[in-house]
């Protein structure tokens, strides 16, 4: 192989990589601009915030979430765990064969043997 061919291949590689990353950079900038433009348009569409009267402290109502008593929570948790344990014990493992077939291995060996035979034929060993 000639040195000029290696240098030419290197330049083609450098030019190709430069083109690819330049295009990717342009796409990134376009996508960034589209996102920026969309944010600006959404901000314009929002109505101006209208001042609201602050509620008096007496008017505040605390909303309490319904709580489950600890005893009931423990019973529910135990029931769920017992149910999942029962379901897990009913599962049976599916049988499977580790070695589906030897056809791919044999095909690979046959191909290698044919390659060796062709090579030997080409150099005149047969």
Res. 100: pLDDT tops 60: no
pTM over 0.75: no
pLDDT at residue 97 in the model = 62
Structure tokens at 108: 């690979």
- The domain spans of the chain are 1-47
- pLDDT tens digits, one per residue of 67-99: 888 888 889 999 998 888 887 777 777 676 666
Cβ within 8 Å of residue 76, ≥6 positions away: 68
Q: Using 50, 70 and 90 to split pLDDT, how confident is the model at 16?
A: very high
For residue 121, the SS3 value is helix
User: How many angstroms from the chain centroid is the CA of residue 58?
Assistant: 52
pLDDT > 70 fraction of the chain, expressed in percent and rounded: 71
Res. 126: pLDDT tops 60: no
pLDDT > 90 fraction of the chain, expressed in percent and rounded: 31
pLDDT at residue 86 in the model = 81
pLDDT at residue 5 in the model = 92
- SS3 of 25-86: the string is HHHHHHHHHHHHHHHHHHHHHCCCCCCCCCCCHHHCCCCCCCCCCHHHHHHHHHHHHHHHHH
């Amino acid at each position: 192989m000639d040195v000029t061919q290696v240098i030419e291949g290197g330049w083609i590689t450098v030019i190709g990589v430069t083109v690819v990353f330049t295009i990717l950079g342009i796409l990134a900038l376009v996508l960034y601009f589209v996102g920026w433009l969309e944010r600006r348009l959404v901000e314009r569409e929002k109505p101006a915030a209208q001042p609201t009267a602050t509620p008096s402290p007496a008017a505040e109502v605390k909303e309490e979430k319904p709580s489950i008593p600890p005893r009931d929570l423990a019973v529910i948790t135990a029931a769920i765990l017992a149910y999942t344990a029962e379901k897990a014990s009913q599962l049976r493992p599916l049988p499977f064969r580790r070695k589906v077939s030897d056809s791919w291995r044999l095909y690979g060996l046959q191909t290698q043997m044919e390659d060796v035979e062709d090579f030997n034929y080409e150099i005149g060993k047969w």
